[in-house]
C-alpha cells in the first residue's frame, strides 16, 4: 500500500519537519546577514556613531544622519504606548474581573475586527479625522498653530492600531491568575480594588510589561498609517505638535529614489537593519519578562 | 505608496469582429510610475485598446521614482517618468522615450484672504526659494510685504517624484531632499491638503491643478503666478493662468519656464524588444499624439517626435 515502510516514512516525515524548523530558525540570521551585507557600502565610509547621531540628511551630498528618523520613530512609538497602555490595562481589568462573562464574549470579536483592519484604512481615518481634529481643535486649545500632520496624529492613529494586540495579551494574562489567589485575598477582607491593585497587578506585572513590549515592537515597525499622517519632515521634533519622520516611512517613501544616488540603497538597508535590531531588542526583552513570569 | 497607487484595468469585454480577424496583437502590458503622466497614459491605453481589443493594459501611479525602479527591475514593462534621467540611471540601463510635456504649478488655497493680492503681484523665484528652501519667508505677510502674521503652511511630496524634483530644480537647482514642508503622499494628496488648509501652499502637476473637463482649476485651488521679470506685478505676458489651455500655450511657447515645465518620459530596462510594447510606443508617438492636448498635456515639437520615433527603429 505504501511505497516506504513505517520506519522510512518516519524518517522522511520527521526530516521534513526538521527542515522547516531549520529554515525558520535561520531566517532571522539570513535577514540580518543580508541587510548587513547590503548596508556595508555605507558603513565603509561612515562610522556607526555618525550615522546614528548626525542630524543632516542630504543623500546627494553623501550626508546620512539617521538621528531625526530614529528620534521620530521613538517619539511616535512611546507616545502611542503611553496612550494605549492605560486604556488597555483598565479595559482588561474590567473585562476579566468586573464585567459579566457575556461581555468578554462580545469583546473578543471586537478586538479581532480592530486587529484585522488594514493599516491604510487607519491612515485614511487619520487624515480625515485626526489631522483636522488636531489642527482645528487640539492645537489651538494648546495655543499652537499646527497643520495637524504631526507626531501626535501618528501616535493617536498608532495607539488605536496596537490596542487589539496589547489588550488580547493582557486579557489572557489576567485570566491565568489563579482564582484561589484572588479568593484568598478577598477572604482576608480586601476590597475588590485592593485585590486588583495588590494581587492581580503585581502577579501579572511581567506579563503586562511583555504585552507592552509586544505593542512597542509592532508600533515601531508600522509604516503606512504613520507615513500618511506624520508629516514626513526631516527634523528632530521638539513638541508632539511638530511633524516628524519615521524609519519605516523613510524606506517606503524613498525606495524609488535609490537608483539615482550612490549609497542611497545602502542607507535604506541600514535603516532596515536598525528597524530589525530595535524590534529584536524589544522581542528579547519581552521574552525575558515572560520567562520571569513563568517562574512564579 | 502602494496604497495610493490607483489602478486602472482596461480590459476586453466586447470583441470587435472586424478587428479580431486581422488583429494579432494580444497580451498584457504593465505600466507604473509618475502621477504626472498617469491620466494621459490611461487615455492612450483606452484608445490603443479600441484598435487592439486583445490587449490588456494595467496602469498604476506611485511616483516617478517607483516608475524607474519598477522598470529597471522589470516589475513593469514601462515606467512613467517625469524628470530628467540621471547618468547613474543611464548606467543601469535605463532607456527613455519622450512622449509629452507638462509643468509643475505652485498652488494655494482659493479661500486665502490674500489670494487676489498675490495673484495680481505674483511671486518671484527668490520668494519661492524663501518659502520652499531656506524658510526665510514664513508668513503670508512676508511674501507680499504686508502685515499678515498667518504662517504659511507649506506642503511637499513625501514620495520620490518628478514634480518635487522639477520644483526644486526651478529654485537654484535644488533637490527634492532640500524642500521644506509637510510631506504628503502623492499628487492628489498635496492638492487635497492645500484645499483643506486655508493658509496652505504647495505645488502640483498641471493635471492635478486643472479639471480636464471644465479646463478651470479645481474647486478650492488657486495658482500662485510666477513673477518672472521680478517687477512686483504680473504683467500681461506673465498672465496666463486663467484656463488650462492658456497655461498649455505658455508651456508650449516657453513663456512658462522650464523647469518647472518638463518633458515626460516612458522608461524601460534597455530598448524594449517586446512587440506589444513597441506597438504601444509607436501608437503614442503617431496616432496617440492627437489626444495629448485634449487630455491636458502639451505636445512635443514635430522634430522631437521624429527623433523619438527613430529611437524605436
Among A57, A254, A262, the residue with its CB nearest the CB of B88 is A262
* Averaged confidence pLDDT in chain B: 83
Structure ipTM: 0.70
Q: What predicted TM-score, i.e. pTM, was given to this entire model?
A: 0.78
B66 CB neighbours in chain A (<8 A) are 255-256
Residue A86 has what pLDDT? 95
Tell me which residues of chain A have a C-beta less than 8 Å from any C-beta of chain B. Answer: 57-60, 120, 123, 132, 135, 145, 147, 149, 224, 227-228, 231-234, 243, 245, 249, 252-262
CA distance B245 to B228: 20
Residue in B closest to A145 by C-alpha: B151
Q: Tell me whether residues B160 and A245 touch, CB distance under 8 A.
A: no
pLDDT tens per residue, range A3-51:
778 888 888 888 888 999 999 989 988 988 999 988 888 888 888 888 8
Best of B93, B177, B193 to disrupt the A interface (most A CBs within 10 Å) is B177
How many helical (H) and strand (E) elements, i.e. helices and strands, does chain A have?
14, 2
Cα dist. B182→A33, A174, A248, B34, B155 in Å?
35, 43, 17, 20, 5
Among B92, B153, B175, the residue with its CB nearest the CB of A60 is B175
Bridge partners, B31 (sequence order): B59, B78
Residue A293 has what pLDDT? 66
pLDDT class for B12, splitting at 50, 70, 90?
A: very low
Cα dist. B167→A59, A179, B1, B86 in Å?
18, 67, 20, 16
Residue in B closest to A151 by C-alpha: B182
A259 CB neighbours in chain B (<8 A) are 68-69, 72, 88-89, 92
Greater confidence (B89 vs B170) lies with: B170
Greater confidence (B173 vs A88) lies with: A88
Residue B304 has what pLDDT? 85
Helices (H), chain B: 17-22, 38-51, 64-72, 87-91, 115-121, 125-129, 140-144, 162-170, 187-196, 206-209, 244-252, 275-285, 302-312
How far is B153 from chain A, CA to nearest CA, in Å? 7
pLDDT tens per residue, range B128-140:
888 888 888 888 8
What SS3 class is residue A84? helix
Q: Tens of pLDDT along chain A (296 residues)?
A: 567 788 888 888 888 889 999 999 899 889 889 999 888 888 888 888 888 888 888 887 888 889 999 999 999 999 999 999 999 999 999 998 888 888 888 888 989 998 899 988 999 999 999 998 998 899 889 888 788 889 999 999 999 999 999 999 999 999 888 889 889 999 999 999 999 999 999 888 888 988 898 898 889 888 889 988 998 888 888 888 988 999 999 888 887 666 666 688 888 889 999 998 888 888 888 888 778 766 65
pLDDT exceeds cutoff 60 at B14: no
- C-alpha dihedral, A192 to A197 to A202 to A205, nearest 10°: 110
pLDDT exceeds cutoff 70 at B13: no
Residue A295 has what pLDDT? 63
Residue B23 has what pLDDT? 63
Q: What is the mean pLDDT of residues B44-56?
A: 88
pLDDT exceeds cutoff 70 at B3: no
Residue spans per domain, chain A: 53-293
How far is B25 from chain A, CA to nearest CA, in Å? 32
What SS3 class is residue B139? strand
A227 CB neighbours in chain B (<8 A) are 158, 185
pLDDT exceeds cutoff 90 at B101: no
A140-144, A181-185, B60-64, B264-268: segment of lowest average pLDDT = B60-64
Percent residues over pLDDT 70 in chain B? 93
Residue B70 has what pLDDT? 86
Q: Which residues contact A96 (CB under 8 A, 6 or more apart)?
A: A104, A171, A174, A175
pLDDT class for B145, splitting at 50, 70, 90?
A: confident
Residue A80 has what pLDDT? 95
CATH (residue range A53-293): 1.10.3720.10
pLDDT class for B5, splitting at 50, 70, 90?
A: very low
Residue whose cell numbers read 526583552: A285
- Cis preceding-peptide flag for A235 (omega within 30 of 0): no
- Nearest CA to A96 out of A13, A6, A172 is that of A172
Amino acid at each position: 500500500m505504501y511505497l516506504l515502510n513505517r520506519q522510512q516514512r518516519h524518517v522522511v516525515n520527521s526530516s521534513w519537519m526538521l527542515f522547516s524548523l531549520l529554515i525558520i530558525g535561520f531566517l532571522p540570521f539570513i535577514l540580518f546577514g543580508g541587510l548587513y551585507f547590503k548596508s556595508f557600502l555605507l558603513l565603509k565610509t561612515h562610522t556607526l556613531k555618525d550615522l546614528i547621531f548626525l542630524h543632516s540628511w542630504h543623500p546627494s551630498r553623501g550626508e546620512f544622519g539617521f538621528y531625526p528618523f530614529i528620534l521620530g520613530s521613538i517619539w511616535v512609538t512611546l507616545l502611542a504606548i503611553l496612550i494605549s497602555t492605560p486604556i488597555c490595562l483598565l479595559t482588561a481589568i474590567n473585562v476579566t474581573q468586573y464585567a459579566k462573562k457575556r461581555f468578554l464574549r462580545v469583546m473578543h470579536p471586537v478586538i479581532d475586527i480592530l486587529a484585522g483592519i488594514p493599516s491604510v484604512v487607519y491612515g485614511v481615518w487619520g487624515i480625515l479625522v485626526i489631522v483636522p481634529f488636531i489642527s482645528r481643535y487640539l492645537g489651538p486649545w494648546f495655543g499652537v498653530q499646527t497643520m495637524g500632520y504631526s507626531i501626535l496624529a501618528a501616535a493617536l492613529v498608532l495607539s488605536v492600531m496596537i490596542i487589539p494586540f496589547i489588550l488580547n495579551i493582557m486579557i489572557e494574562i489576567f485570566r491565568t491568575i489563579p482564582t484561589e489567589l484572588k479568593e484568598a485575598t478577598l477572604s482576608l477582607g480586601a476590597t475588590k480594588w485592593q485585590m486588583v491593585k495588590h494581587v492581580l497587578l503585581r502577579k501579572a506585572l511581567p506579563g503586562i510589561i511583555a504585552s507592552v513590549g509586544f505593542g512597542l515592537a509592532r508600533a515601531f515597525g508600522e509604516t503606512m498609517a504613520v507615513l500618511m499622517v506624520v508629516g514626513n519632515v526631516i527634523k528632530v521634533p521638539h513638541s508632539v505638535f511638530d511633524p516628524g519622520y519615521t524609519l519605516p516611512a523613510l524606506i517606503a517613501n524613498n525606495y524609488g529614489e535609490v537608483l539615482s544616488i550612490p549609497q542611497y540603497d545602502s542607507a535604506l538597508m541600514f535603516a532596515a537593519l536598525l528597524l530589525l535590531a530595535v524590534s529584536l531588542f524589544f522581542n528579547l526583552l519581552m521574552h525575558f519578562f515572560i520567562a520571569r513570569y513563568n517562574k512564579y | 505608496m502602494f496604497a495610493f497607487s490607483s489602478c486602472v484595468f482596461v480590459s476586453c469585454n466586447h470583441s470587435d469582429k472586424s478587428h479580431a480577424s486581422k488583429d494579432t496583437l494580444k497580451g498584457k502590458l504593465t505600466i507604473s510610475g509618475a502621477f504626472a503622466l498617469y491620466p494621459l497614459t490611461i487615455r492612450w491605453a483606452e484608445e490603443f485598446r479600441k484598435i487592439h481589443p486583445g490587449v490588456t493594459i494595467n496602469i498604476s501611479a506611485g511616483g516617478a521614482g517607483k516608475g524607474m525602479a519598477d522598470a529597471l527591475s522589470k516589475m513593469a514593462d514601462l515606467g512613467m517618468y517625469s524628470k530628467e534621467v540621471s547618468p547613474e540611471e543611464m548606467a543601469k540601463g535605463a532607456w527613455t522615450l519622450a512622449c509629452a510635456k507638462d509643468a509643475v504649478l505652485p498652488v494655494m488655497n482659493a479661500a486665502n484672504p490674500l489670494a487676489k493680492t498675490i495673484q495680481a503681484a505674483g511671486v518671484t523665484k527668490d520668494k519661492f526659494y524663501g518659502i520652499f528652501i531656506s524658510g526665510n519667508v514664513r508668513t503670508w505677510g512676508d511674501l507680499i510685504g504686508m502685515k499678515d502674521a498667518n504662517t504659511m503652511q507649506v506642503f511637499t511630496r513625501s514620495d520620490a517624484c518628478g514634480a518635487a524634483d522639477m520644483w526644486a530644480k526651478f529654485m537654484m537647482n535644488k533637490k527634492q531632499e532640500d524642500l521644506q514642508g509637510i510631506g504628503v503622499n502623492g499628487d492628489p494628496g498635496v492638492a487635497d491638503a492645500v484645499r483643506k488648509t486655508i493658509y496652505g501652499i504647495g505645488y502640483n502637476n498641471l493635471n492635478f491643478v486643472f479639471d480636464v473637463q471644465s479646463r478651470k482649476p479645481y474647486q478650492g485651488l488657486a495658482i500662485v503666478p510666477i513673477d518672472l521679470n521680478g517687477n512686483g506685478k504680473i504683467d500681461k505676458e506673465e498672465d496666463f493662468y486663467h484656463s488650462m489651455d492658456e497655461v498649455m500655450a505658455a508651456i508650449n511657447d516657453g513663456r512658462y519656464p522650464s523647469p518647472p515645465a518638463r518633458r515626460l518620459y516612458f522608461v524601460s530596462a534597455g530598448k524594449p524588444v517586446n512587440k506589444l510594447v513597441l506597438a504601444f510606443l509607436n501608437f503614442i508617438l503617431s496616432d496617440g499624439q492627437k489626444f495629448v492636448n485634449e487630455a491636458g498635456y502639451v505636445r512635443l515639437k514635430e522634430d522631437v517626435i521624429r527623433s523619438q520615433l527613430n529611437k524605436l527603429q
